[in-house]
Structure 1
């Protein structure tokens, strides 16, 4: 599948947007497919294309049923709400996780649940770290009822062996498992691990159709038939029932079939860019497992706004800030040529700094953020 069916959109030059993988632009091919979609009412479950998409994604993840939702926030919140019944109770998750930091306190609002963050020492939390944070206090505590994992987390992959270990800890303590799998497609493609192998360890899974996959909008909640029936009811309560959305369902199915197989190519480009930036003295703050690069330019003398302004001249967009940390996100509409342009711009800027007499500070004097600070400072909190 080509990145775009045309090189120009509305007579404007195409912008290679690396702020997020939600920034993909629907193609003419998608719009053509939408025209042939069924036009039933999804609230009453009369749209065949929506039902086919739900059944297909459920099967991919090895579960009975799925629910098409407007966003990953909604599918996450529905999944957690359906696993939580009566306070006092709590959800245990990574301190860097999306459900904790970027969903408007939804767990507290919708589920009346406390959130217990795990401050992991590595790129992902371990079963040992999880077990140490489980609350079993039936007198003064909010008992842990759900463990929520995120894969990928800031682009890094949680190994399936560790997921199994956490699942075993959860089951031993009668705790349910939820996955924020917004970018699980990336983890699955990179590791060649089928989605159902991940799915077997979770009661509910949220998996995005716009991040990475490139669909115009949408996310799926996957679980048992009984749970999805309840989720559909609560979705209506939250105002998330939608009507003639078959056109969005067929676009999403098209992207699953055509974009998902290209994700590893995107990962290769991300690693190529990261390697080049590192060769210039840019610090890579997290492992580049998939499509995200977290950078610190302080040892090059550049600030992110310098890089951002120079990239604009090549029609490349990243978030601009006066600081030295940033998140760069690739997707299927980022071409090899755009990466070459990015590398050339970065090289020119760094070499110009060196010619001006800039000397990098000793490495031991360079402030290196913790992983938590990296996640909070490298990109705006409004970005997902």
Structure 2
């Protein structure tokens, strides 16, 4: 067992605390990772606010890059010294999705069996089974994906959640291809990831939609060819105007509220695809004319973790970054310490940052 400084959420809406935790030695199939960087994701704020569950205390953080420090019995595929990005989809290989050759939909992903604890023995609930706002964390070996160690940790860790969710929403779920037109509603970290993914896939026209003009400027850095200021223009009409009056082939809703989903539905071309990657509030309800759902054809999809397979996708995206084709570094707004996480949540809520990243 080792000690580590960590960011812990003790109750709904309470400011987070930086405290000492106990990290067990790895058991069978487990790995201790020395954390080098961890992004501050909106999901962590959801945990603090009780939007995920009420299983406090939470060890927050999940967009992690680091180095394997110890491995438990039976671990294969990673060894001490390996540079890894952590994921929350460590596929089981035996559930019905895995057996059907669809591991990206695995229904029984692996996590560490042992909990990390407070010094008094209170078990911690690790955010998305990772818990990355700490000097070291205990995870299942399947949550570790090796990537090229030349990748800077602050950028690499963002592949672990938000950036991957956006890129995957465009490429894996939306199946954007060369020459397609794409609209992305909401240009935060996930939305900009979708824009970057559409650019990688060869989309001809990429339309960024947001109410914040500064976010629209930033969206162009990730590959947007056109922008729509949603506070001043009708989103549906603007997207149609930019696509010859037809609508986009793929529309990604990276906000996740009924109003933006309806915009996405009507801003797509006939037989086009809507991808929902923004996470809705559990209380939200959607109403659409069923005849329109039928008549417009196409596909209405949701994208969970960008339908990614970490073992396949993380190394490729890290390599594309090293080749200069994926600007991961532009997602990093600032590098901070563990003591700055609460302030980072406030900046995130005000829309002042794309990603704050805790670095060690």
Q: Name the TM-score, length of structure 1 as normaliser.
A: 0.36
Bigger Cα Rg? 1
The structure richer in strand per residue is: 2
Q: Name the TM-score, length of structure 2 as normaliser.
A: 0.38
Whose relative contact order is higher, 1 or 2, with alpha carbons under 8 Å and at least 6 apart? 1
The structure richer in helix per residue is: 1
